[in-house]
Amino acid sequence: MEAKHAVEKSIELIHNSKIAYLGSIDNKDYPNIKAMLNLKNEGLRKIWFSTNTSSKRVSLIKNNSKACIYYADTENFMGLMLTGTIEVCQDEESRQKVWFDGAERYYSEGINDPDYSVLCFTAERGNFYHKQSNVDFDIKL
Amino acid sequence: MEAKHAVEKSIELIHNSKIAYLGSIDNKDYPNIKAMLNLKNEGLRKIWFSTNTSSKRVSLIKNNSKACIYYADTENFMGLMLTGTIEVCQDEESRQKVWFDGAERYYSEGINDPDYSVLCFTAERGNFYHKQSNVDFDIKL
């Protein structure tokens, strides 16, 4: 499989995924994983999630920004892992970017709820696999 | 939610999961995630997977044994994360433990295929969540 084809299939996989798995590193240097709602991306380079400001994830990320995001279509033995860095964003533009109708269920005070934060991920490398085929590629601006 | 109830629900979640997500740390200290077939466990303390000896995962684990395993029922907002250590096992007992009918599809030479390895995970800590409820617990022998 060529890298170009892997990138196309990767974008398709992201668009078909309801859930993304976020990998981070905790304060004892263990990897951590959490399922996140797949909300918003710009190609493979930028991915955004919403989360609670008070959550464990937010404090971990502030301590160690290295992260990965994994998308899987396990029925078809297909997966994408993006590695890069993640940061906590609380600016207006980021808040608007991932806000959706019904998000009041999670953040009762609406888009300005102080417990609403956005996680902004920037990918550096990708790995896409489908069955036995496996491709690594760089992700550039 | 009490820890005892969280442990019971965690074991039930493992038994209902086809897939487990394995978190490891790569040689540049980034978290990595890979979907694995959920094959065998003894309570929450010991979890086994099969993998290719030649796989990237095997060399990463030999370099850094810190790992996590994540199980999710995303429809019901339920998840379990176990953190601990993982090692590569190639002894006869481990090979027998996770071998299953049809595994020849992956390891053409059968149970003694040199490309067949077992990953043995030992959990130290657990975190179980269901909707807004979230419990941390220790896992002891």
pLDDT tens profile B82-104: 999 999 999 999 999 999 999 99
Mutation choice for A interface testing from B33, B37, B106 by most A CBs within 10 A? B33
Smallest Cβ distance to A19: which of B32, B68, B74?
A: B74
Q: What is the pLDDT of residue B132?
A: 86
ipTM: 0.95
Tell me, what amino acid is at A141? L
Residue A50 to residue A94: CA distance in whole angstroms: 9
pTM, two decimal places: 0.95
Query: What's the CA dihedral at B108, B110, B116, B122 to 10 degrees?
Result: 140
For A3-131, CATH number out of 2.30.110.10, 3.40.50.1000, 2.60.40.10, 3.30.70.20 equals 2.30.110.10
Residue A83 to residue B121: CA distance in whole angstroms: 23
Residue A57 to residue A119: CA distance in whole angstroms: 10
Please name the residue of chain A whose CA is at the shortest distance from the CA of residue B18: A74
| Tokens linked to B20 | 């487990």
Q: Number of helices (H) and strands (E), helices first, in chain B?
A: 3, 8
Is residue B23's pLDDT more than 80?
yes
Q: How far is CA A48 from the centre of its chain?
A: 6
Tell me how close the Cα of B83 comes to any Cα of chain A, in angstroms: 7
Q: Do B25 and A29 touch (CB under 8 A)?
A: yes
Residue A55 to residue B63: CA distance in whole angstroms: 30
Residue A45 to residue A103: CA distance in whole angstroms: 25
